Amino acid sequence: MTNYAPLHLEIAACLWEAVLALRDRPAADPDALERALAIRGAFDRLGTETLRPIILSWTATVERALQGLDDDCPFGFDWAYVGRWLTESVDWTHPHHPVLLSDATEQDAAQAWPTGIEETPSSGPTDIAGREDHLALRARARSAIEYPDHLANHARSELIADIRGAEDHIERSPLSWPIHLHAAAIEHRYGTNIHAAIDEATLDAEIAAWCREWWKEAGDERDPATLDDETVIAIYFDGHPSDGCAKDLLQVTPPLFHTSIAAKSVETGRYCVLSTAHLTVQTAGLLDGWASWPPTERPIDIAASVYGWFVPTRSLDEARQTQLPADLLRLMAFGQSRGFQFLLLDCDGDRSDDLPVHDW
């Protein structure tokens, strides 16, 4: 987890507050009104969740600018400066997203998305630390698809690397980012019931359903079906002599899987299962024979399974391709075009409508 100094947090809060002020309470002059409309357009186009990390990424830039104001502002943080900096330094009329004017002049506004709070060039795939990071990455990808001509080559490469990093992150963890979990334990004479939900309203609905099931034990004559969940819960546990309910808000953090450790311990890949009927009987015989050859003598690395073969889809040089039959090359191209690294050819596998079928 990244640690931020109090000044960084103060600047970030001021940035967000100043943007809202420029949008909702502009000064009575044409430039300010035009800027307010442009900011509202950015909010409508991208949404608050996408804009927030973009705006907060300017924190370090503002901090560097403030360092030159120490002599002019000796008594502490200059709150008004943030608003002035926003009006002088940000182009809100960019068709994709707001950009810093310094970035626009250096990169022709091709790629001003933040790679981090320090605004330094990306040194590798960006890890997804939270939901906002994921939304920001998706917005970048959408913008690249909508306006491909506005994306510089280096920015395209960085975006591809960040998407690949996000994919790796999701594949390495059962949970993409930390989430809050609402949990409750109901103690009663038969034991303990545990309930959990993503939001409090769903959790209360589960607890209330349990209370309605045992409503007679509360000694209340009212019909619980006519009462809302919160009232049902309060009446039941206030009136019951022994049952109790404890609620808590938990944060579920995904386990950390370090890429370097995973790469050393196990290799992973994607494969699909296809019927051996997509092979001719002659090719099936070749695969049977190759599987028994020494690995250095095989024209392709394969492994025999109980009812078929594992076949890699990686590209081969022309010399190797000439040693393989056309039906096998077609299957390998089929798998590679769909992102699979291996094919499992199995007699019980599914048949694809996109491939020829051979009955044998």
Identify the pLDDT of residue 237. Answer: 92
Give the end of a domain, one of 252, 286, 310: 252
Asked, for residue 358, whether it belongs to a domain, the answer is no
Q: Which two tokens mark 246?
A: 């404890």
Q: What is the pLDDT of residues 291-337, one digit of tens each?
A: 888 888 888 888 888 888 999 998 888 888 999 999 999 999 999 88
Roughly what angle, to the nearest 10 degrees, separates helices 229-239 and 200-213?
A: 50
> Strand pairing partners for 273?
344
Positive or negative, the CA dihedral 59, 64, 67, 72 is: negative
Contact assessment for residue 187 and residue 245, using Cβ atoms and an 8 Å cutoff = yes
pTM of the model: 0.38
Roughly what angle, to the nearest 10 degrees, separates helices 48-56 and 30-46?
A: 120
Roughly what angle, to the nearest 10 degrees, separates helices 48-56 and 6-24?
A: 130
Residues 66 and 117 in one domain: yes
DSSP-derived pairing of the beta strands 99-100 and 90-91: antiparallel
Identify the pLDDT of residue 4. Answer: 59
Whether the pLDDT of residue 125 is over 60: the answer is no
For the chain, what is the mean pLDDT?
80
Q: What 3-state DSSP class applies to 187?
A: strand
Q: What is the pLDDT of residues 195-219, one digit of tens each?
A: 999 999 999 999 999 999 999 988 8
Among candidate residues 222, 227, 223, 233, the one with its CA nearest the CA of residue 195 = 233
Question: What CA–CA distance (Å, rounded) separates 65 from 70?
Answer: 10
Asked, for residue 356, whether it belongs to a domain, the answer is no
Identify the pLDDT of residue 17. Answer: 92
Identify the pLDDT of residue 103. Answer: 47
Question: What CA–CA distance (Å, rounded) separates 5 from 8?
Answer: 5
Identify the pLDDT of residue 69. Answer: 64
Residues 235 and 328 in one domain: no
Contact assessment for residue 257 and residue 266, using Cβ atoms and an 8 Å cutoff = no
Residue 210: domain span: 179-252
pLDDT band with cut points at 50, 70 and 90 for residue 153: confident
Residues 302 and 162 in one domain: no
Asked, for residue 360, whether it belongs to a domain, the answer is no
Whether the pLDDT of residue 72 is over 80: the answer is no
